[in-house]
């Protein structure tokens, strides 16, 4: 009764019994303007000028009836009018309307909460409150929509202005912001917290009401500004969570989430947070599984097509999987079919979820979890070999993470590693990188030991096996039998079995000891297996150090460092291979190598910092067993370490003291290592030698000959590397102690066999030429003494009377002859370097000093004289003329040095010239000198003599190539080939006609000779010292050599050659002609394999078009079916554009008669299939295919149809190629072609050079173009001879090893051409 009385009083003047209509949420706003029986409608739209007054009345109504919600019924027309006229109202009115509505909803919420806590409402009250509730929600939702639309338009206007990056309420000029959004959402959340279902009959909230609130939340989430405010997102998530939990919105939310994920990229994270709120705060787990199942039901083909939506789905599931793992586990079975789908993004997502589950909820030991985990592991491992590289990479990344979390069972680890190791050789660099990261992580997280020395483990295993054997022998026979039978069972099963048997305590204790020992043995066996597996991996990883990918190299370095620190012996070889990378041009790789050696040898990560003695010892250890290339790399490394101050002066002093003091117990190899490291240090700081010269001489030449050689190398570093410092360097006199010490050492060891006398003598000669003032006289004296030892009976008379037809003197000591000849060659080479660099630089320096003195003297005269007389002017003019002559002094000095080298060293009156006949005699008479060492030394010495003088080179070049062809010693042939490289660089024009002889060595029977030839030609061709055209086909043939190393070198050559513009294209025609020749070419399989590799470098459309035309014309010059097959196969390797296909069609007259052959027709069919991928013109494709089929059918019939008959039958189907231009029209066509081909690529040969015309020179006809050349119209039968492959168009001036102008030689003038001069059509104006 009390409630009814209160209700009657508060209802006041509003009679709710008159409410017989219902409020229905409209589809559009205009629906509320239509009157309909039983439904609420707007009676009148308030004009704009009256809205302010009506809003004031509504606000008073809200304040007056604060405990009821009738304001929405009484003033709905006013709020609806605000919504309709929203864009025309001021911000103050909008804000007032919004705050009134929010206040009214909050008051109505309080009223409903009070009413729901008492007795139930009657039907009339339910209807009134339900209508008021729905009208209030409608007003709030519409206000949200209006404000968001206005904010979006205002935001677009603001972002177009400069400097308006900050967006707040003042910027956009509206009353709407994050605070207002949160007020409305808070009011809705409080309202939804009530049991609103009591207002409906039956008590189930209508779906339209839920959809109205939910759609408002989803639209808010589409706003990027809303996503930036965490507080607003929390309110939205809680509103949606309540709808899902209490208002049966689960299914609708799932469908809406999937739909919005498909459309928006920014909603993956917000919806994942919504799922977390539902699970954590409202305990609604089904919605997560339902959303995942909805995504899983999408067709795989659709996921593959819509990559953007797929990425959004995956991001959402990944974030949900990371926060709601138990729920995702229940739905993982629905995602499994997508592991076989087309979308690699979805496969990566599912694999990542599997990895999170294994590392999370499935990391326990329950039986059910084990089974599920094993199943998921199998699926994860299966995709290590997925067809997509991204999936392979992702699966390895997931496994790496599981290894770090120690979630991979030990029994699976070994098989898993074997599978991942195969990915180290994957074609994808990203897969290789992740495989290396996995192996490195597995090594660091291994469950066995931190020191994995295989020898120690094998020794321990052997000891423990013996212990186990002894323990088993001590047991009674019955117990031993029982133990042997149970060896294959688990240790726990063995223990249980021992406890259950009726044994005495002592026997049971022994059995337990045996079981423990058995576990130790098994552990050591696993350690050995793991270590052996890592050794195999190290071999594969070491090969990746030569990879072109920087990521492969960096990850390989990291793994080798870890393996070295774990004590794996095989890692030492990998670390040594790593040393060469110090010359890598990539800065990251270079720094990684330096840091690796600092970590391993200078400053280890673990343990105390090593002292200077330990650093010195580590540096010495790096020299043991090193090759020449590794020592050069170590020298560069030491240089970098010194520059970064990682090698302290104390460590250098330790090395110096070790060499000088020679304490007891120091081995000879340690002294040699210390000397080598000191020479590397001295290359950075030459004062180390100059300040300790006497100590080094005393200590270095009192040991073995190897130490003396290394000491000579160290002494050579005493010359400063910088040019300015080198000019101030004072050379040693002939009476210096070093000269006599080296001379005595050479004479003392000259008779000693089994020592490296050659290496010591070479370094000794270099040291004398570097440090001494008159090295030639010193070397002459040494040679005279050695000559007397070699020929004690003849002495110098042998050299004075030596002639080519004189019988060779056969000395008893062949060792003396061998060493003498080697020293002669090194002396000639050192003399060349000395004169061409040091002497020439000294002469230039002196000339520069003289010029500076003269200039300073002239400046003083000019300053001392005020007025000049006529006589003074004449004197100044004479001095200026002298100054101009000084400008050409450098050229004169260089010419003087060149003349000395040409006439006074190995020819003429020079001392070395006396040995030239001896060298020629030994080389030309190998039957008189059967010792191969003497022959080899004589050839090397003669080649070095030829490097000094071009005249001597020209006289003996025929002899050198005869030895190259006919010598039976492969070492001799290799040495000749290497020195030919230097001869070509020094005298290119003298050897230009001998290039064919060099190419001929590519077919040598010796693998070493062939590989040396390829290296030499690679260097010469890439440096433009040898013409590519003519013999390049022989190099291409090496792609199919039987030796894999030669194939690799050849591929490397063509890869580097392809980096030059059009280089491969320019030689492709020659290669095809020679390799397809039936007499001198290669087999069909070899030809096709070579062409497949070479045509990969033809990647430009213009090159393909030109090749199509050239190859078509070559069909006319073919002589057999094999050439048809080869040419058509080459055409099928090209990629076709519309232009190139049209060119192939235009030239069908060249090959139509060959289409009757089934293989030729098959190759052209391949062309059609390839062209369909790039050519869009179906008419062109159909026309080409029709003509091919027509020619094939006509030519493949009874054979009676001839060429003319087929052409007449085709009529207009075949477009004949245009006739070649006549002489009268050729110049006009050439001008037209030049004007039309402007901007096209240059396809001329790379090595072709042009000389500008000079006055008085006869002009010759230019070579034929690519379309007119004979090479395009016929196939040559044989290769061009070596004598005819010269290029006399330009004089080369080239020097070797720092040689300057003194070593340059001009070629003889070319023969005059008999061809008529060709004029350009216009006269050249004489220059002023």
Candidates 105, 93, 100; CA nearest to 60 is 100
pLDDT at 806: 41
pLDDT in tens, 1206-1247: 455 554 444 444 444 444 444 444 444 444 433 333 333 333
Range with lowest mean pLDDT among 453-457, 1115-1119, 1321-1325: 1321-1325
Largest CA distance in the chain: 151
In percent, the amount of the chain with pLDDT more than 90 equals 33
Higher pLDDT, 880 or 1088: 1088
pLDDT at 362: 84
pLDDT in tens, 510-541: 888 888 888 999 999 999 999 999 999 999 99
DSSP state of 1246: T
Whether residue 892 is predicted with pLDDT greater than 80 in this model: the reply is: no
pLDDT in tens, 354-374: 999 998 888 777 667 788 888
Q: How many other β-carbons are positioned within 10 Å of the β-carbon of residue 202?
A: 5
Range with lowest mean pLDDT among 104-113, 134-143, 859-868, 1058-1067: 859-868
Confidence of residue 493 (pLDDT cuts 50, 70, 90): very low
Whether residue 1195 is predicted with pLDDT greater than 80 in this model: the reply is: no
pLDDT at 751: 85
Structure tokens belonging to residue 2: 């009390």
pLDDT at 843: 77
For range 272-280, the mean pLDDT: 93
Q: How many other β-carbons are positioned within 10 Å of the β-carbon of residue 29?
A: 14
* Contact partners, residue 190, CB within 8 Å, separation at least 6: 106, 109
Q: How many other β-carbons are positioned within 10 Å of the β-carbon of residue 520?
A: 15
pLDDT at 437: 95
Confidence of residue 581 (pLDDT cuts 50, 70, 90): very high
For range 867-891, the mean pLDDT: 50
Range with lowest mean pLDDT among 126-140, 476-490, 595-609, 811-825: 476-490
Is the N-terminal amide bond of 202 cis, ω within 30° of 0?
yes
For range 1195-1205, the mean pLDDT: 47
Whether residue 1198 is predicted with pLDDT greater than 70 in this model: the reply is: no
732 SS3 class: strand
Q: What sign for the dihedral angle of Cα 129, 135, 141, 143?
A: negative
Range with lowest mean pLDDT among 545-554, 707-716, 907-916, 1310-1319: 1310-1319
Question: Are the CB atoms for 59 and 92 separated by under 8 Å?
Answer: no
Burial-class residue 533 by CB neighbours within 10 Å (0-12, 13-18, 19+): middle
Question: Are the CB atoms for 1260 and 1313 separated by under 8 Å?
Answer: yes
* Contact partners, residue 694, CB within 8 Å, separation at least 6: 737
pLDDT at 18: 60
Q: Calculate helix-pair angle for 970-986, 950-966, nearest 10 degrees.
A: 150
pLDDT at 718: 86
Q: Per-residue DSSP letters for 277-333?
A: HHHHHS---HHHHHHHHHHHTS-HHHHHH-HHHHHHHHHHHHHHHHH-HHHHHHHHH
Phi, psi of 940 (to 5 degrees): -60, -45
As a residue count, the chain comes to 1328
Separation between Cα atoms, residue 707 and residue 674, nearest integer Å: 10
Whether residue 765 is predicted with pLDDT greater than 90 in this model: the reply is: yes
Question: What is the value of pTM for the model shown?
Answer: 0.74
Q: What sign for the dihedral angle of Cα 875, 877, 883, 888?
A: negative
DSSP state of 39: B
Candidates 834, 720, 709; CA nearest to 762 is 709
Listed in order, strand segments (DSSP E) in 734-885 are none
Q: How many other β-carbons are positioned within 10 Å of the β-carbon of residue 767?
A: 25
For range 269-281, the mean pLDDT: 93
Range with lowest mean pLDDT among 318-327, 552-561, 704-713, 748-757: 748-757
Confidence of residue 1325 (pLDDT cuts 50, 70, 90): very low
Whether residue 884 is predicted with pLDDT greater than 50 in this model: the reply is: no
pLDDT in tens, 280-335: 999 998 999 999 999 999 998 899 899 999 999 999 999 998 888 888 998 899 99
Question: Are the CB atoms for 465 and 521 separated by under 8 Å?
Answer: yes
Structure tokens belonging to residue 622: 């790096």
In percent, the amount of the chain with pLDDT more than 70 equals 79
Question: Are the CB atoms for 380 and 351 separated by under 8 Å?
Answer: yes
Q: How many other β-carbons are positioned within 10 Å of the β-carbon of residue 1253?
A: 11
**428-450 burial: b if 16+ Cβ within 10 Å, else e:** bbbbbbbbbbbbbbbbeebebbe
pLDDT in tens, 27-60: 888 888 888 777 888 888 888 888 888 888 888 8
795 SS3 class: coil
Structure tokens belonging to residue 192: 């939804």
Separation between Cα atoms, residue 1235 and residue 1227, nearest integer Å: 13
Separation between Cα atoms, residue 454 and residue 160, nearest integer Å: 70
pLDDT at 798: 56
Structure tokens belonging to residue 570: 């095989």
Question: Are the CB atoms for 1057 and 1064 separated by under 8 Å?
Answer: yes
Question: Are the CB atoms for 436 and 400 separated by under 8 Å?
Answer: no
pLDDT at 1308: 41
Range with lowest mean pLDDT among 98-107, 299-308, 791-800, 921-930: 791-800
pLDDT at 1052: 92
pLDDT at 1303: 40
Separation between Cα atoms, residue 1067 and residue 1280, nearest integer Å: 14
57-66, 310-319, 647-656, 719-728 — which one is most confidently predicted on average? 310-319
pLDDT averaged over every residue in the chain: 79
Q: How many other β-carbons are positioned within 10 Å of the β-carbon of residue 534?
A: 25
Give the CA distances from residue 301 to residues 297, 338, 388, 543, in Å, rounded to whole numbers and listed in that order.
12, 10, 16, 40
For range 1-23, the mean pLDDT: 48
Whether residue 664 is predicted with pLDDT greater than 50 in this model: the reply is: yes
Q: How many other β-carbons are positioned within 10 Å of the β-carbon of residue 725?
A: 11
pLDDT in tens, 190-228: 999 988 888 888 888 889 999 999 999 999 999 888 898
Cα 610 from chain centre: 36
Whether residue 800 is predicted with pLDDT greater than 60 in this model: the reply is: no
Separation between Cα atoms, residue 561 and residue 555, nearest integer Å: 10
**SS in 3 state form for 492-545?**
HHHHHHHHHCCCCHHHHHHHHHHHHHHHHHHHHHHHHHHHHHHHHHHHHHHHHH
Separation between Cα atoms, residue 841 and residue 855, nearest integer Å: 21
pLDDT at 1016: 94
685 SS3 class: coil
For range 417-424, the mean pLDDT: 92
Separation between Cα atoms, residue 97 and residue 51, nearest integer Å: 10
């Amino acid at each position: 009764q009390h409630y009814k009385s209160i209700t009657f009083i508060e209802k006041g003047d509003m009679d709710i019994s008159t409410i017989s209509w219902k409020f229905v949420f409209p589809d559009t706003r205009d629906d509320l303007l239509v009157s309909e029986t039983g439904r609420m409608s707007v009676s009148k739209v308030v004009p704009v000028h009256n809205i302010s007054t009506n809003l004031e009345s509504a606000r008073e109504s809200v304040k007056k009836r604060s405990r009821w919600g009738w304001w929405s019924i009484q003033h709905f027309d006013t709020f609806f009018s605000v919504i309709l006229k929203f864009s025309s109202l001021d911000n103050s009115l909008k804000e007032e309307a919004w705050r009134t509505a929010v206040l009214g909803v909050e008051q109505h919420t309080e009223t409903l909460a009070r009413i729901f806590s008492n007795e139930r409402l009657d039907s009339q009250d339910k209807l009134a409150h339900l209508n008021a509730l729905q009208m209030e929600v409608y007003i709030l939702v519409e206000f949200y929509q209006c404000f968001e639309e206005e904010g979006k338009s205002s935001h677009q206007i603001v972002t177009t202005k400069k400097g308006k990056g900050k967006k707040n309420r003042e910027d956009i000029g509206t009353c709407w912001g994050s605070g207002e959004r949160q007020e409305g959402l808070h009011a809705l959340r409080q309202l939804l917290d009530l049991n609103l279902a009591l207002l409906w009959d039956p008590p189930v909230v209508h779906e339209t009401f839920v959809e109205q609130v939910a759609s408002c939340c989803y639209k808010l989430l589409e706003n990027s500004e809303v996503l930036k405010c965490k507080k607003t997102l929390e309110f939205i998530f809680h509103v949606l969570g309540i709808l899902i939990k209490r208002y049966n919105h689960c299914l609708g939310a799932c469908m809406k989430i999937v739909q919005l994920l498909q459309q928006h990229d920014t909603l993956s994270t917000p919806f994942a947070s919504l799922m977390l709120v539902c699970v954590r705060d409202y305990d609604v787990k089904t919605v997560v599984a339902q959303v995942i199942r909805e995504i899983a039901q999408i067709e795989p083909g659709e996921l593959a097509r819509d990559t953007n939506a797929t990425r959004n789905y995956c991001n959402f599931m990944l974030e949900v999987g990371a926060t709601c793992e138990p729920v995702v586990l229940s739905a993982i079975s629905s995602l499994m079919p997508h592991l076989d789908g087309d979308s690699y993004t979805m496969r990566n997502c599912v694999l990542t979820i599997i990895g999170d589950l294994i590392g999370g909820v499935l990391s326990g030991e329950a039986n059910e979890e084990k089974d599920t985990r094993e199943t998921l592991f199998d699926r994860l491992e299966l995709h290590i070999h997925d067809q997509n590289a991204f999936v392979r990479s992702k699966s390895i990344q997931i496994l790496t993470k599981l290894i770090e979390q120690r979630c991979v069972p030990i029994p699976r680890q070994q098989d898993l590693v074997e599978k991942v190791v195969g990915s180290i050789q994957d074609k994808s660099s990203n897969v290789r990188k992740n495989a290396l990261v996995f192996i490195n992580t597995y090594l660091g997280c291994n469950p066995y030991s931190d020191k994995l020395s295989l020898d120690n483990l094998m020794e321990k295993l052997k000891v423990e096996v013996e212990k186990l054997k002894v323990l088993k022998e001590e047991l009674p026979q019955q117990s031993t039998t029982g133990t042997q039978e149970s060896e294959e069972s688990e240790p726990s099963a063995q223990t249980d079995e021992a406890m259950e048997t009726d044994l005495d305590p002592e026997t049971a204790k022994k059995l337990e000891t045996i079981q423990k020992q058995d576990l130790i043995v098994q552990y050591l066996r696993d350690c050995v297996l793991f270590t052996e597996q890592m050794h195999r991996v190290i071999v594969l990883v070491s090969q990746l150090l030569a990879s072109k990918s920087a990521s492969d190299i960096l990850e390989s370095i990291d793994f080798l460092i870890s393996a070295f620190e774990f004590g794996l012996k095989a890692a030492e070889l990998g670390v040594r291979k790593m040393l060469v990378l110090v010359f890598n041009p990539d800065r990251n790789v270079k720094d990684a190598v330096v840091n690796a050696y600092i970590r391993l040898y200078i400053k280890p990560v673990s343990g105390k910092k090593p002292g200077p003695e330990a650093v010195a010892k580590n540096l010495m250890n790096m020299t043991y067993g090193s090759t020449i290339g590794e020592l050069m790399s170590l020298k560069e490394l030491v240089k970098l370490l010194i520059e970064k101050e990682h090698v302290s002066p104390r460590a250098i002093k330790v090395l110096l003291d070790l060499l000088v003091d020679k304490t007891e117990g120091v081995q000879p190899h340690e002294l040699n290592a210390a000397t080598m490291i000191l020479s590397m240090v001295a290359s950075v700081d030459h004062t180390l030698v100059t300040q300790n010269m006497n100590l080094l001489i005393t200590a270095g030449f009192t040991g073995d000959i190897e130490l003396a050689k290394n000491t000579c190398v160290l002494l050579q570093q005493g010359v400063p590397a910088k040019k300015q410092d080198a000019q101030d360097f004072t050379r040693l006199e002939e009476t210096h102690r070093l000269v006599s010490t080296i001379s005595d050492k050479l004479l003392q060891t000259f008779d000693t066999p089994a020592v490296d006398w050659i290496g010591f003598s070479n370094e000794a000669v270099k040291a004398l030429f570097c440090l001494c003032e008159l090295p030639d006289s010193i070397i002459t004296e040494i040679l005279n003494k050695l000559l007397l030892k070699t020929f004690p009976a003849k002495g110098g008379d042998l050299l004075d009377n030596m002639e080519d037809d004189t019988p060779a003197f056969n000395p008893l000591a062949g060792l003396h002859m061998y060493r003498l000849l080697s020293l002669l060659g090194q002396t000639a080479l050192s003399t060349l370097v000395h004169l061409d660099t040091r002497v020439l630089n000294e002469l230039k320096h002196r000339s520069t000093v003289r010029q500076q003195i003269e200039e300073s003297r002239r400046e003083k005269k000019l300053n001392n004289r005020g007025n000049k007389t006529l006589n003074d002017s004449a004197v100044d003019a004479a001095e200026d003329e002298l100054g101009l002559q000084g400008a050409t002094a450098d050229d004169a000095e260089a010419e003087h040095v060149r003349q000395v080298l040409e006439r006074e060293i190995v020819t003429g009156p020079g001392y070395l010239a006396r040995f030239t006949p001896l060298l020629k005699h030994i080389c030309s008479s190998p039957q008189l000198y059967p010792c191969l060492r003497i022959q080899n030394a004589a050839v090397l010495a003669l080649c070095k003599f030829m490097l000094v003088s071009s005249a001597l080179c020209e006289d003996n070049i025929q002899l050198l190539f005869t030895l190259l062809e006919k010598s039976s010693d492969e070492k001799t042939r290799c040495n000749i080939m290497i020195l030919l490289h230097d001869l070509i660089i020094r005298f290119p024009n003298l050897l230009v006609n001998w290039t064919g002889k060099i190419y001929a060595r590519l077919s040598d029977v010796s693998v070493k000779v062939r590989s040396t030839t390829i290296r030499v030609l690679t260097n010469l061709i890439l440096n433009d010292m040898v013409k590519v055209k003519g013999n390049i086909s022989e190099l291409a043939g090496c792609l199919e050599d039987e030796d894999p190393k030669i194939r690799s070198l050849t591929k490397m050559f063509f890869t580097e050659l392809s980096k030059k513009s059009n280089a491969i294209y320019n030689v492709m025609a020659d290669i095809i002609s020679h390799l397809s020749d039936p007499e001198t070419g290669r087999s069909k399989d070899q030809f096709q394999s070579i062409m497949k590799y070479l045509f990969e470098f033809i990647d430009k459309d213009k090159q393909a078009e030109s090749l199509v035309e050239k190859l078509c014309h070559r069909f006319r010059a073919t002589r057999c079916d094999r050439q048809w097959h080869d040419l058509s196969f080459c055409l099928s390797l090209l990629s076709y554009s519309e232009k190139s296909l049209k060119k192939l069609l235009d030239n069908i007259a060249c090959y139509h008669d060959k289409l009757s052959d089934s293989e030729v027709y098959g190759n052209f069919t391949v062309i059609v299939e390839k062209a369909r991928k790039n050519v869009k013109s179906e008419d062109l494709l159909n026309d080409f295919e029709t003509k091919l089929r027509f020619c094939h059918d006509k030519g493949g019939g009874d054979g009676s149809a001839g060429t003319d008959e087929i052409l007449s039958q085709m009529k207009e189907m075949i477009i004949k190629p245009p006739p070649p231009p006549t002489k009268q029209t050729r110049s006009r066509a050439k001008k037209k072609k030049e004007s039309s081909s402007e901007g096209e690529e240059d396809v001329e040969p790379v090595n072709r050079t042009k000389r500008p015309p000079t006055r008085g020179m006869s002009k010759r006809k230019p070579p034929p173009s690519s379309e007119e050349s004979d090479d395009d119209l016929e196939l040559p039968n044989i290769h061009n001879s070596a004598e005819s492959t010269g290029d006399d168009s330009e004089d080369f001036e080239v020097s070797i090893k720092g040689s300057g102008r003194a070593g340059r030689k001009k070629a003889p003038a070319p023969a005059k051409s008999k061809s008529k001069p060709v004029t350009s059509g216009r006269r050249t104006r004489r220059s002023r």
